[in-house]
Chain A
Amino acid sequence: MSIWEYANPKKFMETSALALPWLTGLSAAFLGAGLFWGYFLTPDAAKFGSTVKIIYLHVPAAMMAISAWMMMLVASLIWLIRRHHVSALAAKAAAPIGLTFTLIGLVTGAIWGQPMWGTWWAWDPRLTSFLILTLFYFGYIALWQAIEDPDTAADLTAVLCIVGSVFAFLSRYAVLFWNQGLHQGASLSLDKQQNVSDVYWLPLLACIAGFVLLFVTLVLLRTRTEIRARRMAALLVRERSA
């Protein structure tokens, strides 16, 4: 029993069919509980008023936007090395979800920044590198759509994903060098003593868990769709040649 068994589309479909209802339920429960708790049961912060509550969307979405790219990078590497089609399709499936998370992060950040910083947008390092990440997502998705042959598309997007990761990383540091900004530093970490106070911390954890589960659910769902689309295309070809 090895993890590569799930690279078999049939095995993947069976397992994911079993797991999906649970994952859906769990992510709905975590997100629902976290958001309800965060929005209705926590006090307003002294400095920020009720705007603080946007972190329940902003922080998990931003975290997942980066994690989604990491997942695509791993999936791309697996595709290039072991040529498992499910892996390439999972990377393809994750891209629009990651893009959506990036956009959620940018939009909620703008909505928060307007009353707090007095501006919708600033060329702050974090904001800029997020915008650059959005551009990478756009390019990646556009390349998938532009190429007709599925294997070529998988190869080229995988190479782009790897090179893009290096350059996204470089941009992150270039931008940091280029401008010091408004965005506060990390206020969540496992090893620090002083985090955000527990009142906000616990519902935020629930929301982060909810977003992770949501991401996994959506990727599985979309990968299943891609596999079905691939099968359908194969059936159509067979029908035409018969």
Chain B
Amino acid sequence: MRALLLRDLRLAFRAGGGFGLSLAFFLMVAVIVPLGVGPAPATLALIAAGVLWVGALLAALLSLDRIFALDYEDGSLDLLATSPLPLGGVVAMKALAHWLTTGLPLVAASPVLAVLLNLPAQGYFWLLVSLAIGTPALSIIGAFGASLTVGLKRGGLLLGLLVLPLYIPTLIFGAEVVKSGAAGAAIGTPLAALAAITAGAWAGLPLAAAMAIGANLR
């Protein structure tokens, strides 16, 4: 399993594209929104938490079809499915690699973008915490969506339609943590709910995704 993780990480780094791209997209969202709504600091401070979370959602979405598509095309997914590794474990490792290459950089870059969006100073810590806890959920939910559409020629648009509704609870609780944190209010409930979603998704979805891949490879 570790070999698989390292292989995926190496592929992501050396093949280029995917790694920096979603980060650049995240940056684009943070730049485009002030251009659209106007530069008034009060307005930006109000929407910063939501915009950063929506940006994280979309950035994660962009790179999802890479999780399985390349391996499906060159046949390595078949090999992985027939290998002694449980397929659920394969899915989890691939989702983890996806998180390490897209989610983690995004978490690291988020404070810089928060400056652009004039997030209140109290919110920075909670932004980091909520993204660090929430983005793994985005990766595994996305891996599930990608496993549904892996056999399709033009799965990209469909993937968005399938995955974004599944992202809604994560988005609500994640943005809520930042918003309450920035306002200095209590963040216990949404933070616990966010962590619960991440933990639950990592526990259940690899199995569902393994089932979907099994059906797709048949």
Contacts and interface: CB of A to CB of B under 8 A. Distances in A.
* A and B are partners in one complex rather than unrelated chains: yes
Interface string A164-207: 10111011011101100000000000000000000000000000
Interface stretch (B68-76, B99-107, B128-136, B167-175): B167-175
Given A167-B168, A174-B172, A152 B218 contact: yes
B205 interface: yes
A177 B208 contact: no
Contacts of B161: 135, 138-139, 142
Residue of B161, B162, B176, B189 with highest tally of chain A CB at under 10 A = B162
Given A139-B161, A167-B168, A160 B173 contact: no
Given A132-B168, A171-B169, A177-B176, A139 B162 contact: yes
B158 interface: yes
Chain B interface category by residue count? 20 to 34
Given A139-B162, A142-B158, A160-B162, A167 B169 contact: yes
A143 interface: yes
Contact of B172 (A136, A151, A156, A178): A178
B211 interface: yes
A164 B193 contact: no
Interface stretch (B7-15, B109-117, B148-156): B148-156
Given A160-B162, A163-B166, A146 B173 contact: no
A168 B189 CA distance: 19
A81 to B, nearest CB: 12
A162 interface: yes
Given A143-B158, A177-B176, A167 B148 contact: no
B164 A135 contact: yes
A46 B172 CA distance: 38
Given A163-B144, A163-B208, A174 B173 contact: yes
Contact of A177 (B149, B151, B166, B190): B190
Interface residues of A, number: 28
Contacts of B149: 143, 146
B212 A155 contact: yes
Given A146-B152, A174-B193, A177-B172, A164 B205 contact: no
B208 to A, nearest CB: 5
B122 interface: no
29 contacts: A132-B165, A135-B161, A135-B164, A139-B162, A142-B158, A142-B161, A143-B149, A146-B149, A146-B152, A152-B218, A155-B211, A155-B215, A156-B212, A156-B215, A159-B208, A159-B211, A160-B148, A163-B144, A163-B166, A163-B205, A164-B166, A166-B204, A167-B165, A167-B166, A170-B197, A171-B168, A174-B173, A177-B172, A178-B176
* A-B residue pairs, 3 tightest by C-beta: A155-B215, A170-B169, A174-B172
Interface of A: 132, 135-136, 138-139, 142-143, 146-147, 151-152, 155-156, 159-160, 162-164, 166-168, 170-171, 173-175, 177-178
Given A132-B165, A168-B165, A171-B172, 12 more contacts: A135-B161, A135-B164, A139-B158, A139-B161, A139-B162, A143-B162, A147-B151, A151-B218, A156-B148, A167-B166, A167-B168, A167-B169
